[in-house]
Structure 1
Amino acid sequence: MSIKRSLLVELDRETQQTRRVLENLTDEHLDWRPHPKSMSVKELAGHIVELHNWVAVALPKAAFDFKEDYQAVTATSIQEIIDLLDAGYPLNKEAIETASDESWFEKWTLKAGDWEIATLPRAGAIRFIVTNHLIHHRGQLTVYLRLLDVPVPGLYGPSADEKQ
């Protein structure tokens, strides 16, 4: 299996899983947070979707600079957040399909102005900076669902809400 094919499989499955979690939320949940230091549902869900969309927005560049390139999600409803995920999917898919195999081994840098946060091969960046990061935050969001008494979808097997 090629690098592109494996990344496309992961992109498709993780996008579907995120959509399943988001679909269980409603706008009444947007401002809820489990603790004053925690992100709100809206902030966390928006961050998860922006991470998905970094495949097309951040990874094609040699470097992504928070001070110059970053734009936070400003959605005001769950449907807008889902729409951003859905709109980003074909762009993310195209970014992977058009990248050469060699480009996945080129250096990619995440920075904030002069501060270099990480430099690693683009293949490492898609796993570490994008996919693992969004899965971590999606896991946090499923805890939010549980605390809100909203059914949690099974992502890698049935959840307690799906078991008979």
Structure 2
Amino acid sequence: MELIALLKQELNEESRTTRKMLSRVPPEKFDWQPHPKSMTLGRLASHVAELPGCVAMAVDTHELDFADNPYEPKDVKNTGELLDYFEESLKNAKDGLEKIDVKDFNEPWTLRNGEQILNSYTKYSVIRMAYSQVVHHRAQLGVYLRLLNIPIPGSYGPSADEVAF
């Protein structure tokens, strides 16, 4: 299977799990956080929802400069808005994968803050990093939900909440 087709397949597979996880985030707990240094539940869930959009950013740009583009997290008010935000981000990722050619995967992509280069990657590395970040922060979201006694959906098989022991 071609690499872009594999990336599309993985995006679709991971999006099913992410959608299930985001659907369980209760808006009345958006302000909850497990520790003062941790993101709130709403902020973390919104971050999970926005991350697929980084695929399109990697395809459409050659850098992200925080000095010119200060990060502004999206303020979602409820679970429906959260899921809509995820679907929009996911559509942008899919559109990006439709546009890119494998030969563009090795093009450089830079993360910077003004003159300070934070890191340099290839476009392919940024796409893969976006996928990894979704999985990483989705797992973090699962811990938050567990601490709130909200049943966790399975990711790569059933969760402890979905099987009887």
Q: What's the TM-score, normalizing by structure 1?
A: 0.93
Equivalent residue number for residue 148 of structure 2: 148
Deviations 1:22-74 (A, max 9, x none): 11121111011111111001110111122111112344201112232344222
Note the C-alpha offset of 1:99.
Answer: 0.5
Query: Are the equivalent residues in 2 in contact too, given 1:30–1:78 (CA < 8 A)?
Result: no
Amino acid at match of 1:52: P
Equivalent residue number for residue 4 of structure 2: 4
Query: Are the equivalent residues in 1 in contact too, given 2:106–2:124 (CA < 8 A)?
Result: yes
Contiguous gaps of at least 5 residues in structure 2: none
Q: Distance in 1 between matches of 2:110 and 2:135?
A: 21
Query: Are the equivalent residues in 2 in contact too, given 1:31–1:41 (CA < 8 A)?
Result: yes
Equivalent residue number for residue 120 of structure 1: 121
Equivalent residue number for residue 36 of structure 1: 36
Q: 1:116 to 1:25 in 2, by over 3 A?
A: same
Q: Distance in 2 between matches of 1:58 and 1:99?
A: 10
Q: Distance in 1 between matches of 2:64 and 2:29?
A: 31
Q: 1:58 to 1:76 in 2, by over 3 A?
A: farther
Please list, as runs of the form range in 1=range in 2, the aligned pairs for 1:10-159 lying within 5 A after superposition.
10-69=10-69, 70-128=71-129, 130-159=130-159
Note the C-alpha offset of 1:157.
Answer: 1.1
Deviations 1:94-128 (A, max 9, x none): 11111111111111111222221221111111112
Q: Distance in 2 between matches of 1:57 and 1:45?
A: 20
Q: 1:148 to 1:24 in 2, by over 3 A?
A: same
Q: Distance in 2 between matches of 1:105 and 1:58?
A: 11
Amino acid at match of 1:111: R
Q: Secondary structure at the match of 1:57?
A: helix
Contiguous gaps of at least 5 residues in structure 1: none
Q: Distance in 2 between matches of 1:94 and 1:8?
A: 10
- Report sequence identity in percent: 37
